[in-house]
Structure 1
Amino acid sequence: MRAERPWHAHYPEEVLPAYPFPTGNVAQLLLNAAENMPKQIAIRFFDSKMTYESLRDEAYRFANALQEQFDLQKGDRVAIMLPNCPQLVIAYFGTLLAGGTVVMTNPLYQEEELAYQVKDAESVILVTLDLLLPRVLPVQAHLGKQSIIYTSIKEYLPFPKNKLYPLKMKKEGHSLHIPKQSGLQGLQHLLYSTSPKRCVVQVDDAQDLALIQYTGGTTGLPKGVMLTHANLLANTIQTTTWSYKLQYGQESYMGVIPCFHVFGLTVLLNQCTHMAGTLILMPRFDPDEVLGHIQKYRPTIFPGVPTMYMALSHHSRIHDVDLSSIEVCISGSAPLPLEVQQRFEALTGGRLTEGYGLTETAPVTHVNPIWGKRKSGSIGIPLPNTDCYVVHPDTRKPCSRGEVGELAVKGPQVMKGYWKRPVETAQVLQDGWLYTGDLATMDEDGYFTIVDRKKEMIISSGFNVYPREVEEVLYRHPGIKEAAVIGIPDAYRGETVKAFIVPRENTSVHESQLDEWCRQRLAAYKVPRHYEFRDQLPKTIIGKVLKRALIEKQMEQKSTHKSEDTNRDGS
């Protein structure tokens, strides 16, 4: 087995190569926690708190309301368009208890994006915030039951924050007006008018969908990833067993990574509930507020993305805040620069380790050992019950150790397929193997390194250039805060390398300096030929750089220049 799976030799003694997984409804995680530790604080939301017993009853009320007032049937899709707040947790577990399928929806979506997702998923109900109604109401007609359940952040805030919140929203230009029209129901009224009687719909965990999570928005038209109850339960256990020092009922999770993203859903919400931990929820990432919460509530676990750790590390108050409660940080969704990892570990005394996954794998497949052997730049080794290999992108024949190829994964966390897209499903899912589209290598120890996205690879003068490799070199420059690399058309080379740079505050970085820096560390064909300096880079809600936006902007500029050249020639 170790000859086939060399990574098992590097598992900590406390972690087994394979585990049995619980079966049934994902919401059983909540019911177990409420039964074992009913008075344990499940959620802290600013200065308010909710026990597991209360959270369970609220979820029961929501489930019963869906069935009794909306006639929700097993498998019906319920869209949840909420930031991190207690209402999201209630709606999530309540929908699952009622037998529904959750469709997590980004609160930043505009009307057109929302309409596409609602129609594609065939959602019947949508749960959202009152201040989002202007964007949500136009899509009401596309909902199967034409029903919108609205709530307000203030409903779970303590006094006097609940009184001050409407004033703050009004000052910021938000309207909290609720129009009088059919199909709109307030969440609080719904919960108070419904019984908290037990409601748990039995599911076929291997077949029935718990979640449809949309992906591909950074590279093309979003696709709905079908994740079963078994997928989510397996990945929850896989990620929890990897953090084997965690203590049941003793951990507090810093809940700033969005739960409407699958990384936050699994590694934050589901894992915290499975461990009967306390979820410290924050609706948005504000570095100053996060530091205040860390000081006040002393979280022990902090899942996040590199930009979060980067922003906190360079905050002006960072040395005034005691970060020593933080023991474990799992970074995902984007490559973790070594400098960021080392700096944050020095500040906290905890461990910040890089993992890897995809929406299609619920999402985690690889993580560096938290308290064991880590390799810089590596995504680590496969989680228990997970198989991986690297294949030639065209032939899909196995690659040799150290050879670049496409990463393929197989395990209980791999999706059922893409919603209503059998052709796309067949292209990436074959005999249980998911072909990720990511280019990777595996070394002699079984540690994997992501070289780049297959679609993002740059071919310059016939040579393969992997943007991540160039970005890693740029990140090591003392004057660079952030960097992103793309390929742009070049008449001579076919493609050439362009780097977008965000300098550190109070520093001066010049193109000539960076050119010399890169030439000392990279082959000539990998060195950026063009640089663009910016105050910030476009990002998704979870902090991943939107390279598509950079490419589109580049194409717009090229088109504009062509038009101007044509006009000059014509004149």
Structure 2
Amino acid sequence: MDIDIDLYRHEVRVSTSPLVRLSAIDISPDHPQRTFVFIHGFGGQAAQWHYQMQKFAVENRVIALDLRGHGLSDKPAGGYDMPQTIQDIENALTLLKVNGKIVLVGHSFGGAVVTEYAVKNPDRIERLILMATASEFKLQTTLKLALNLPVWFLKIIEPVTRRWLFAPPHALKSFNANNMAKWNGAEKFPSLNVPTLVIRGHRDLVFERPLFEKVAESIPGAEDVDIRVSGHMVMLERRDAVDRSIERFLVGEGQRSWRESTRAVKKKKSGRDVLRAQRPWLENYEAGVPYTVGVPNIPLNHLLRSAVRRFPKHPALFFEGSKLSYRRVNHEANRFANSLIALGVGKGARVVLLLPNVPQMVIGFYGAMKAGASAVLVPPIIEPEEVIRQIKDSEASVLVTLSMWAGLAKQIQAGSGVPHIVLTDPAHYLSLPKYLISKWRNRGYGLQNALRWRDLLAGNSNKSPTVDVTPGDLAVIQYTGGTTGQSKGVMLSHRNLVANALQTRHWLPEAEEGKERFLCVVPIFHSYGLTAAMNVPISLGAAMILKTQFQTLDVLKAIKKYKPTIFPGSPSMYVAINNFRGVRKYGINSIKACISGSAPLPIEVQEAFEKLTKGRLVEGYGLTEASPVTHANPLGDKRKVGTIGIPLPSTQAKIVDLSNRKMEVKQGQIG
């Protein structure tokens, strides 16, 4: 499961005097089979476990801690001895509400730490795993001499060492002197009475080989796995071999050599089997699609922050020949957020985005999220009277729209009383010649006292505002008619939108982080476009190819130029592409996957489009109240053509009797 584990990072306060907060990565799907706790070693960090966390988070709760003084945890002056280290872990697990037994994993000196924890708390341990752990930690002469140097000198060379040591000099010196240098496994290993797996790299030269070999020999009944062609960071260098060894150990199938780990692992029945019995559609999931998704406890704008942190220079937006990087989009969103705050529009306010798929839509949306405001999405294609009614109903404070729609903006202000109008030129983020031409064409459009996008953003900081936005806060008011006639505002929280973005993202198991390109022609002001054409690509760090409307030739030219790989759309779009003369010369075979929404997908349309692209086109279903995607066909061979598909991960569904809505019908019956 390819995920950004930092989305699941938060702090736990393990001490108040002095204040010490440990940074914890905590990923938990529904109905986890086990709980893993990963502990790094001297100078390490929680993120070094990212391969194992991604692997085992599919079915288990996985937790990795930055120890005191390391990674993103607080770095106090003292408290680096073993008793305090164990107390920190115990406090963290209590605060994280970890109940029952755990699989405890430690690397290098982290193996010594988890050994101490297991000796003290044997009833809490289901399995113990020691990686690259020695019986004693006798540092090489060079590093030992370095740790004897004064802190002020070590700080001078810290910019060089921080690439491989994730703790400051004072923490490393104290951790070594008061903890690591004193520790002797010969006194502790024989006391272990829990199932233990020892994994070591055959080429590990950090400590002397006999010190590694002695570990398994000293632990009663321990399994010993010597992984070839691997050094000290064995879980990174040979992650597949390590993962297989762990899987075998968990099901009680020991092995003597890493070579034996190529055999398939037989899994025992677990709580996941109960989940499959409750949700029979899970049998039709494609390989790589998780049954459930651990939803991080974050606001929606953290998806953008994640993309910026991982892919700052990658293209975020392609629009009519221009390109904006993720860093640029983030800076612009920050400026817009700070602009709103300067206007007195902050947390709880409503910002109407009456825009097509232009960069300002993405920037304005995430800027509103960062300011703690709610985005009100209104289709610009409906009657002006209905637009005015919806905006008035939402009690909006700001309206952002195109300068060419200034006349409509005037009507809205008069009819709804919205205090602030922001006008923007659709060519604002294009090249200077294109912008000047567009500005000249739209010179007659304006509104007295309206704010101009360029002027509004120019004087504000590109730093993220410090507004406290929580997952439960209102993020979007999306107007939809449904089957009731007059449109009503559906209120969606940050958590709603984060959950659906990740559910949909995981339906694309072959999508690669930072490498995909989405053709975004479905309108973002629609709930399907909001998720599939904006939030999902941002969660992937993908590039978004924005089109303001669907015109077949224009879209085909964009496909030829930008080579999109994923195309969320509607049946009418796929029909138009299928019927376009000479469509093959536009290189549409770059498209790998499409999920069709908004209307039933005819079988002949699906077959023709797949023949042209060699990609996969499947039908999906959703409703605005669900943010919106709830069902989709698998992208592989398990799909069922002519249906809406099966529920997405972490989605419950049932078919009820037509006359008795409380009674669920049996499989194969009409409901």
- Shorter chain as normaliser: what TM range? 0.5 to 0.7
Determine the structure 2 residue equivalent to 1:495. none
Structure 1 contact 125–144 (Cα < 8 Å) conserved: no
Shift of 1:201: 2.5
In structure 2, which of residues 465, 482, 486 is the aligned counterpart of residue 199 of structure 1? 465
> What's 1:61 paired with?
335
Per-residue deviation, 1:153: 0.9
Report the counterpart of residue 543 of structure 1 in structure 2: none
Task: Determine the structure 2 residue equivalent to 1:18.
Answer: 292
- Tell me the CA shift for residue 193 of structure 1: 1.4
- 1:323 positional shift: 1.0
Indicate yes or no: 2:355 matched with 1:93.
no
On the 8 A contact 1:367/1:383 being kept in 2, the answer is: yes
Percent identical across equivalent pairs?
A: 43
Q: 1:344-363 alignment to 2 at 5 Å? A: 344-363=609-628
Query: Structure 2: which amino acid aligns with 1:165?
Result: S
Code of the aligned partner of 1:11: Y
1:150 aligns with 2:423: yes
Greater shift, 100-109 or 89-98, is seen at 100-109
Superposed displacement of residue 401, structure 1: 2.0
Summarize the Cα distance change of 1:217–1:110 in structure 2 as closer, same or farther, 3 Å threshold.
farther
Aligned partner (choices 221, 224, 231) of residue 486 of structure 2: 221
Distance 1:131 1:218 in 2: 33
CA RMSD of aligned residues (A): 1.6
Paired residue for 1:404? 670
- For residues 80 and 372 of structure 1, do their structure 2 counterparts lie closer, same or farther at Cα, with a shift above 3 Å needed? same
In the alignment, which of 44, 63, 78 is matched to residue 318 of structure 2? 44
Check the 8 A contact 1:327/1:350 in 2, yes or no: yes
Structure 1 position 16, deviation (Å): 1.7
Change (3 A) 1:30 1:66: same
In structure 2, the partner of 1:467 is: none
Asked if the contact 1:125/1:143 (under 8 Å) is kept, the reply is no
Taking the aligned partners of 1:312 and 1:49, their CA distance within structure 2 comes to 25
1:230 to 495, 500, 503: 495
Partner of residue 456 from structure 2, selected from 173, 190, 195: 190
Q: Note closer, same or farther for the CA distance 1:306–1:180 as it changes in structure 2 (3 Å cut).
A: closer
Query: In the superposition, relative to structure 1, how do residues 323 and 278 fare at CA in structure 2: closer, same or farther (>3 Å)?
Result: same
Question: Does structure 1 residue 327 correspond to structure 2 residue 327?
Answer: no
Letter in 1 for 2:489: G
The answer to whether the 8 A contact 1:111-1:136 is kept is no
Structure 2, gaps ≥5 residues long: 1-273
Match of 1:140 in 2: 413
Matches within 5 A, 1:431-470: none
1:106-141, Cα deviation, whole Å (9 max, x unpaired):
122332011110111111111000111111211214
Conserved? CA contact 2:569–2:597, under 8 Å = yes
Structure whose alpha-carbon radius of gyration is higher: 2
Question: Does the alignment pair 1:161 with 2:434?
Answer: yes
Deviations 1:252-286 (A, max 9, x none): 11011111111111111001111111111011111
- 2:54 corresponding residue in structure 1: none
Unpaired runs of at least 5, structure 1: 406-571
How far residue 358 of structure 1 moved from its aligned partner, in angstroms, is 0.5
CA shift for structure 1 position 378: 1.1
- 1:288 paired residue among 544, 553, 566: 553
**Which residue identity does 2:279 align to in structure 1?**
R
Give distance in 1, aligned partners of 2:557 and 2:536: 24
Letter in 2 for 1:177: G
| 8 Å contact from structure 1 (residues 77, 121) kept in 2 | yes
Partners of 2:621 and 2:300 in 1: CA distance: 23
CA distance in 1, matches of 2:411, 2:389: 12
CA contact (8 A) 1:24 1:202 kept: no
Tell me which residue corresponds to 2:281.
Answer: 7
Q: Which is worse superposed, 13-22 or 268-277? A: 13-22
Number of the residue aligned with 2:382 = 109
The DSSP-based 3-state class of the residue aligned with 1:156 is coil
Contact 1:118 1:142 in 2 (8 A): no
Q: What's the counterpart of residue 307 of structure 2?
A: 33
> Which residue number in structure 1 is paired with residue 538 of structure 2?
273
Tell which deviates more after alignment, 370-379 or 196-205: 196-205
Is the Cα–Cα contact under 8 Å of residues 315 and 323 in structure 2 kept in the other structure?
A: yes
Report the CA distance shift for 1:50/1:179 in structure 2 as closer, same or farther (over 3 A). Answer: closer
| Deviation by residue 1:457-491 (Cα, 9 ceiling, x = unmatched) | xxxxxxxxxxxxxxxxxxxxxxxxxxxxxxxxxxx
Range 393-402 or range 231-240, more displaced: 393-402
The alignment covers a number of residue pairs equal to 396
Letter in structure 2 aligned against 1:220:
G
Higher mean alpha-carbon deviation, 134-143 vs 158-167, is at 158-167
Contact 1:76 1:123 in 2 (8 A): yes
Q: Aligned partner of 2:626: which letter?
A: T
| Distance of 2:409 and 2:586 partners within structure 1 | 39
TM-score, normalisation: structure 2 = 0.57
Deviation at 1:404, TM superposition (A): 2.4
Residues 99 and 200 in structure 1, CA contact (< 8 A), matched pair in contact too: no
- RCO higher in structure (CA 8 A, sep ≥6): 1
Partner of 2:97: none
**1:506-528 residue CA offsets vs partner (Å, 9 max, x unmatched):** xxxxxxxxxxxxxxxxxxxxxxx
Q: 1:119 corresponds to which letter in structure 2?
A: K
Q: Deviations over 1:141-198 (max 9, x none)?
A: 455652110101121222543344357xx5xxxx65244522x100111111111122
Of 563, 580, 583, which residue of structure 2 is paired with 1:318? 583
* Matched residue SS, 1:387: coil
Q: SS of the residue aligned with 1:78? A: strand
Letter in 2 for 1:400: K
Which residue of 211, 234, 248 maps to 2:513?
248
When residues 295 and 235 of structure 1 are mapped into structure 2, their CA distance, relative to the original with a 3 A threshold, is same
Partner of 1:124: 397
Structure 2 equivalent of residue 381 of structure 1 = 646
Q: Which amino acid aligns with 2:573?
A: M
Change (3 A) 1:311 1:218: farther
> 1:3: how far off?
2.8
Q: Structure 1 CA distance, aligned partners of 2:428 and 2:382? A: 23
* TM-superposition CA deviations, 1:528-557 (whole Å, max 9, x none): xxxxxxxxxxxxxxxxxxxxxxxxxxxxxx
Aligned partners of 1:165, 1:145: CA distance in 2, in Å?
Answer: 27
CA distance in 1, matches of 2:317, 2:447: 32
Which of 330, 339, 346 in structure 2 is aligned with 1:73? Answer: 346
Shift of 1:218: 6.7
Does the 8 Å contact 2:392/2:415 carry over to 1? Answer: yes
- Secondary structure at the residue paired with 2:353? strand
Cα distance in 2, alignment partners of residues 179 and 16 from structure 1: 51
